[in-house]
Amino acid sequence: MKALSQNRRHPLMGLALLLLGLLVTGGLYSVASTVNQAQAATQVTAAASADDISEGEKLFNANCASCHGTGAVGGPAGPSLVGVGAASVDFQVGTGRMPMQMNGPQAQRKPNQFSEEQTAQLAAYVASLGAGPGVPEEQYLDVNAEGVNVAKGGDLFRINCAMCHNAAAAGGALTRGKYAPSLQDVSEKHIYEAMETGPQNMPVFSDANLKPEDKRDIIAYLKTIENNGSPGGLALGSIGPVAEGLFVWTAGLALLVGFMVWLTSRSS
């Protein structure tokens, strides 16, 4: 007992307890996230038929395996897709980002090359390879449902998203040629899937970070500002007061110079 009491007063004991607490907290968080992903993958696999998975495998081998490898285990030109889940495939393929049009800092949005049925089949196949986030349920995409809090969604967006996507969700530049895309005219499902899977340079907002109801509130806020348009007039890309002030200053200066040139020509 005496030795134990002495060790408890050891100057490094506090640090050891702190490290132990961090390890336990991290372990519990990892287990909770894995359980949520496994449940989502189980739901997707159960909903998808064996025919969907088989057709998805054929589509994958014909269109995706050249980069992501046979069995989606990855290759020199593309990462492994085992464990990314159906939501990641539905987002990347549904927005046309995959297959990529060309190599670059990040995949660009373009018209999708697959039908909704084919996209679902690809998602079902990849989901069958390992646990991952599933396609969101309709109840979390209904921005007009009872209990939706647009004001809370705006707060969550400004805290978690506005530093990259701009306070008006107009997008913004990042480093080394990368960018945060505009969120205008993006479907509710794809916004939710982006938050859930973290495509490109975006962080992952799992259910442990943002509950499904919180994600729905953010989507409701984005759709609200999208429908409101720009009541103040010309939006100028909604990139902030500095750029707007520079535009006004430049335009005003140009008018003054033009007026002075006109006066000089009149006097001569």
Task: Write out the binding residues.
Answer: 64, 67-68, 161, 164-165
Residue 70 to residue 168: CA distance in whole angstroms: 42
Can you read off the two tokens belonging to residue 261?
């040139």
122 neighbors 197 (Cβ within 8 angstroms)? no
Chain CA centroid to CA 149, Å: 20
Q: Which of 48, 29, 28, 209 is nearest to 125 (CA)?
A: 48
Q: What are the backbone dihedrals phi and psi of residue 179, each rounded to the nearest 5 degrees, phi first?
A: -155, 155
CA pair distance 184, 209, nearest whole angstrom? 24
- What would the two tokens of residue 62 be? 């014909």
Residues annotated within a binding site for heme c: 64, 67-68, 161, 164-165
Vertex 107: Cα angle to 238 and 63 (nearest 5): 145
